[in-house]
């Protein structure tokens, strides 16, 4: 089975100043989560037209975020 995946940029006309080191999409495919080299976790809204807008940014990690995982219910 061949699966086609469309590439998506997670910023607008200008790239972010932080370095994305991990990326994950939620099961409902409405939120993208990115981790950065600077220790930030960013949440992005993803519309059905594949338009991305920033939602939240979480600070507090003292090291790079190199892996993201979904929690089990």
Task: Confirm whether 27 is domain-assigned.
Answer: yes
- For 34-66, write each residue's pLDDT tens digit: 998 888 888 999 888 888 888 888 888 889 999
Task: Confirm whether 11 is domain-assigned.
Answer: no
Burial class (CB in 10 A: 0-12, 13-18, 19+), 14: exposed
Q: How many domains does the chain have?
A: 1
From the list 15, 32, 16, 14, the residue with the least C-alpha distance to 24 is: 32
Q: What are phi and psi of 13, to 5 degrees?
A: -75, -20
Question: Mean of the pLDDT values across residues 12-34?
Answer: 82
Task: Confirm whether 7 is domain-assigned.
Answer: no
Q: What is the mean pLDDT of the chain?
A: 81
Give the residue numbers spanning the domain of 51: 20-72
């Amino acid at each position: 089975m061949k699966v086609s995946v469309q590439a998506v940029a997670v910023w607008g006309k200008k790239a972010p100043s932080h370095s994305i080191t991990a990326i994950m999409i939620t099961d409902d495919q409405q939120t993208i989560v990115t981790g950065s080299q600077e220790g930030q976790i960013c949440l992005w809204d993803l519309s059905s037209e594949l338009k991305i807008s920033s939602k939240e940014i979480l600070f507090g990690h003292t090291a790079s975020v190199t892996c993201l995982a979904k929690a089990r219910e």
